[in-house]
Amino acid sequence: MHSLRGAVAALLITGLPVLAAQPAFAQAKPERMFQQMAAACAAPLAETGKPVVLKTPLDPATRGALISAIFLTLHDPSGPGRWPEKEIEAAQPCAVARFEVADAIWTLNSGSGRLPVRWAGATGHDDFFFVMRGPSLSDARAWDQGGRQGLPAASNAPAYYLVGRDRGANYIGQIYDGPPSARRIADDIAELLETDRRAIAVHDPVGDAISLLIPLEDGPQAEILRPQDIAGADGFAALYVPDDHLITWGDDAAFVMRGSGFVCPRAFGTYERQVLGVYDPDDARLNMACMLESDTGWATIYVTRQPDASKDKLLVNAGLKELEKAVGVAARLTDPPQGPKAQVQIGRNWVDNQGRVQVVLFLRRGEYTYDIRQVHPKADIQAGGEALIAILNQIDLPDARTAEGWRARR
């Protein structure tokens, strides 16, 4: 069993969403438990829906229709909050089925109003699934080709979208041409969690960023439909594939950032790329982050356009003070060589109150700053150091000996 986010990250490391056709699915366990339940509270569904077949690679019109349909189905006009988690947490359960998937018992509930028409969760799982009514791909195509203005015309019967929510992102697992049965929902959840089947797309509520995970004939794999909402949001818009504007493809499936040209490869040592975070897409204030994880730690490289260097030291030291206060300082470690002419302008590393190594590095290159954060257990200090060396070299620094010397001292 795997998480939705973990499965997507693994596929992106191999390049499969862009370079390969949809793989044949391994079969989910046929003997798993499924129990239909009669509930007077349940909103009735016709349960006639069948999966919509998407012919890949998607042609440009279908690509636009799919992105538009996902946006129209999952956009929350009240802002990128915790919908539908907040509504589900406050709702009275109305169970219509129970089933076994991924060694857990899931309960499928019925909903109405701002609730999804169906949602499923399991004890011990932070992720959950829900089914939303949305426009058909035909109606979404017309809306897309008409300039994405106003509300789409409902010329056809609505479609229904199976969505998995994991760590704040929406993973579109299936599209149905009508309301799906409880058995169909359970089977599709099982395939998503127990087999090599991938999600169709990922939707991030911040900025309504949509990343398509299936092959295209042409056009960008991702699109941010409301970039104007990102800077004022609490968080970032996540892109899992390039949008050909803020991010483009580099060699060996690397991501190349707009403006700085920084290259975020598939991995730095044992730290594998998970997502590209967009904090501000405006060219005057470009702020993006290459986010990485290892089996035991994480690292993030924030790349920001900040032409004014006069307050670098003041701002970085203030941020360090706040971070040290938040995580604690149990022991100091040797800091890297630093200064105006060194590779690293400001750097600090220490052991926090939970026994983790905290690393903060600040570099300025022209109008762009690079803020590097890394957290890992003390036992992984060598792997962490090797990843940092690779990151520093990737920023195209002139003297690698300083970094090698830092590694030796640690």
| Whole-number percent of the chain with pLDDT over 70 | 89
Measured distance CA(357)–CA(350) in Å, rounded: 6
Summary mean pLDDT of the chain: 89
Cβ(275)–Cβ(236) under 8 Å? no
Measured distance CA(178)–CA(159) in Å, rounded: 5
pLDDT at 19: 33
| pLDDT value at 395 more than 90 | yes
pLDDT at 24: 41
Over residues 267-283, the pLDDT tens digits come to 999 999 999 999 999 99
pLDDT at 10: 58
pLDDT at 29: 55
Q: How confident is the model at residue 408 (pLDDT cuts 50, 70, 90)?
A: very low
Q: How confident is the model at residue 407 (pLDDT cuts 50, 70, 90)?
A: very low
Q: How confident is the model at residue 48 (pLDDT cuts 50, 70, 90)?
A: very high
What type of residue is 12? L
Over residues 25-37, the pLDDT tens digits come to 445 556 789 999 9
| Whole-number percent of the chain with pLDDT over 90 | 74
Over residues 154-178, the pLDDT tens digits come to 899 999 999 999 999 999 999 999 9
What is the SS3 assignment for the chain?
Answer: CCCHHHHHHHHHHHCHHHHCCCCCCCCCCCCCCEEECCCCCCCCCCCCCCECCCCCCECHHHHHHHHHHHHHHHCCCCCCCCCCHHHHHHCCCCEEEEEEECCEEEEEEECCCCCCCEEEEECCCCCEEEEEEECCHHHHHHHHHCCCCCCCCCCCCCEEEEEEEECCEEEEEEEECCCCCHHHHHHHHHHHHHCCCCCCEEEECHHHEEEECCCECCCCCEEECCHHHCCCCCCCEEECCCCCCCEEECHHHCEEECCCCCEECCEECCEEEEEEEEEECCHHHCEEEEEEECCCCEEEEEEEECCCCCCHHHHHHHHHHHHHHHHCCCEECCCCCECCCCCECEEEEEECCCCEEEEEEEEEECCEEEEEEEEEEHHHHHHHHHHHHHHHHHCCCCCHHHHHHHHHHC
**C-alpha angle 117-119-123 in degrees, rounded to nearest 5:** 165
Over residues 348-378, the pLDDT tens digits come to 999 999 999 999 999 999 999 999 999 999 9
Mean pLDDT of 383-392: 96
